[in-house]
Structure 1
Amino acid sequence: MGRRPKALGRGGRKSPEKRRVLVYCEDACAGRQYFQGLRADLRFHPVQIAIGEGCGEPLGLARDAVAHRQRAPLSPADRRSAHDEVWCVIDVESPPHARLQDALTLAREEDIRVALTNPCFDLWILLHFADVTAHVLPRALQKRIEKETACGFTAQHKHLRYEALDGLHQAAAGRAEAIRRRAEQMGRCDPLTANPWVDIDRMVAELRRG
């Protein structure tokens, strides 16, 4: 839903409001902390990120995102303003979530955009520091992050110091692109079956463009 430009000051030039983006992610710790950090990074960009409270399995996440978008125009917490774009950041997991396909179908029907990680969001964190070239399980990812990085993440306490990623986004995006290229070369272009897989870099690139 489009919104009219907002006038700045009496008789001043009209300037368009920031594009309002709503993000829902499964991970209540590192994932949420990542997008909180990204939101702070983008405070001078023409995009405003709101982070939903939902977390957990993909179908519930997608339903929460749909419900939030529907109530936003009447919600004081959302300034009674619609969101221009809604994203769900979803983990495939290993084995995949039982209702993952249902979540993706709902998102497609409701025009909710999806960023996928296979097996989980922790892969995106690790790519800021190291490459991942082979099939990997969530527990192994968590141990690598704890061992190879200094971002405050441990396998027991999955928290993230966002500032530890400063200056590393381009490296992470390059590694994510390399992962997808390797998957394509092997004929494994479906992120639901390709492990590793991540496309959060594409989402972040769009947000950074405003």
Structure 2
Amino acid sequence: MAKRGKIDKPVLAESEVRPERLKKYKYLFLIVCEDQKTEPSYFEYFKVQIPEESIYLRSVGVGRDPKGVVLSAIDERNKLAFESKREVDKVWVVFDKDDADENQTKVKNFEDAFTIAADEKFEIAYSNEVFELWLLLHFTKVNKNVALPRKAVYKMLQEQIRKTKKYESYVYVHAHPQKKTIDIVFEIGNVDLAISRAELLLENQKGKNPIEANPSTTVHFLVQQLREWINYYSYTK
């Protein structure tokens, strides 16, 4: 757990409202996501499992590319540290490969995201190609030897959800906020199976750089760590 120390004071907008009694929490857990809706909504679901006054979980969506997500995480960490008058215990950044291999500028930005995150001691949860691969794994395994483009992942996710009768008319629209999708994932999906399926994909991509490792995701590491902290603070003798 991070030690208390001197925190650089960030510039805060006058309209920003600080969380009440933030100091009461024992552990500060910050997740900064590429997507502004779907990814933060997924991690927000874990709040109901957190024992009172133990973990303060903040999940933020910034709508930037991978390097931008990491740079935003620096600002978000400093902001939370200033609000709480202490250092933030854990920072995760969540982003996708998407089209990062489209040109050399995007390749460099993707690689810079990992370098800066390491320098800042941030943990990384990436998906190749998209976060929706992690959601899909809640329902089914995928062929570890066949690269999955984004559109294929979206289609497969829609098909899997439609297998449940009450959602047989469900339509996945990537451009729209997907809180409804997250609700469905937690209702009928299986996070434990998603973790085991993600482990198999990652093992198959061993030795490859993240930008080349399609299909793969490391979101399960974030979920496992978050669940471990929740279990830690939930423990009673």
Q: What's the TM-score, normalizing by structure 1?
A: 0.81
- For residues 171 and 217 of structure 2, the distance between their equivalents in structure 1, rounded to whole angstroms, comes to 19
- In the TM superposition, what whole-angstrom CA distance separates every residue of 1:185-208 from its partner, at most 9, and x where no partner exists? xxx432221100111111111111
Unaligned runs of 5+ in 1: 5-15
Structure number with higher helix proportion: 2
The one-letter amino acid of 1:173's match is I
Percent identical: 24
Determine if the alignment matches structure 1 residue 106 to structure 2 residue 121. no
- In the TM superposition, what whole-angstrom CA distance separates every residue of 1:104-130 from its partner, at most 9, and x where no partner exists? 111111111111110010100000001
Equivalent residue in structure 1 for 2:49, among 27, 34, 41? 41
TM superposition shift of 1:3? 4.7
Q: Which residue of 2 aligns with 1:23?
A: 31
The one-letter amino acid of 2:226's match is L
TM superposition shift of 1:82? 2.7
Instruction: Work out the number of aligned pairs and report it.
Output: 193
Q: CA RMSD in A?
A: 2.5
Q: Secondary structure at the match of 2:118?
A: helix
- For residues 176 and 26 of structure 1, the distance between their equivalents in structure 2, rounded to whole angstroms, comes to 20
Q: Which residue of 2 aligns with 1:154?
A: 172
The one-letter amino acid of 1:164's match is V
Which 4+ residue blocks in structure 1 deviate beyond 4 angstroms? 43-46, 150-153
The one-letter amino acid of 1:2's match is K
Query: In the TM superposition, what are the counterparts of 1:29-178 in structure 2 within 5 Å?
Result: 29-43=37-51, 46-75=54-83, 79-96=84-101, 97-98=106-107, 99-133=109-143, 134-149=146-161, 154-156=172-174, 157-159=176-178, 160-162=181-183, 164-166=185-187, 168-178=190-200
- In the TM superposition, what whole-angstrom CA distance separates every residue of 1:16-41 from its partner, at most 9, and x where no partner exists? 94321100011112212101112333
Q: What's the TM-score, normalizing by structure 2?
A: 0.72
The one-letter amino acid of 2:212's match is T
Unaligned runs of 5+ in 2: 6-23, 230-237
- For residues 153 and 22 of structure 1, the distance between their equivalents in structure 2, rounded to whole angstroms, comes to 31
